[in-house]
Amino acid sequence: MPEKARVLVVGVGNVLRGDDMFGVEVSRRLEQMNLPKSIKVTETGIAGISFVQELMDGYEGCLLIDAVNRGKPPGTLVMLEPKLPDPKTLTPEQRVSFFSDLHQADPSIGLMLAKSTGHLPKHVRVLGCEVGETEELLIEMTPAVAAAVPAAITMALQLLSQWLGIELQAEALPA
């Protein structure tokens, strides 16, 4: 990345759906850290379009933090590099179907919209945590997912350090 690179970190999720609040919780904790000005941390909750609007300000990297369901044990962390099709290859019907609800927090819709408008950063990753419970109305994460939050912060800081060529550590992170 360029020396003056800007990176956007986005926490995604619903704080009323148990483990789905994972991304929001991680982003809130990262916001409490004394990070360089080149890193902007925000959370979108379930409003998928807002992070696309933020990307329009110009970033070289974007890290999305979200709950995932990939069939692994709850609390398992994964770092994914999204593979997005070229929006120009979608038929008109596929585009309408894909972009029909921009208010939902499915990051792939936002990433595709950013790509189609020319605002997708060169570097994009999704830091996901395998969920346990997301269907019930819960205001707390399950123990396995809550226990994964510190490790997720460490993974996020390692990626950001790599992207920006600086050393970031979670030592001063509030509990």
Q: Give residue-wise pLDDT tens across range 101-124.
A: 555 556 777 888 888 888 999 999
Q: Report which of 53, 44, 50, 54 is spatially closest to residue 6, judged by C-alpha positions.
A: 54
- Provide, rounded to the nearest whole percent, the portion of the chain with pLDDT above 90: 47
pLDDT value, residue 106: 67
Q: Give residue-wise pLDDT tens across range 42-63.
A: 988 766 677 888 899 999 999 9
Hey, where are the domains in the chain? 7-164
**Which run of H or of E encompasses 62?**
strand 61-68
Q: Report which of 8, 5, 2, 35 is spatially closest to residue 126, judged by C-alpha positions.
A: 8
- What CATH number was assigned to the domain covering residues 7-164? 3.40.50.1450
Q: Give residue-wise pLDDT tens across range 28-44.
A: 999 999 999 999 999 88
Query: What does pTM read for this prediction?
Result: 0.85
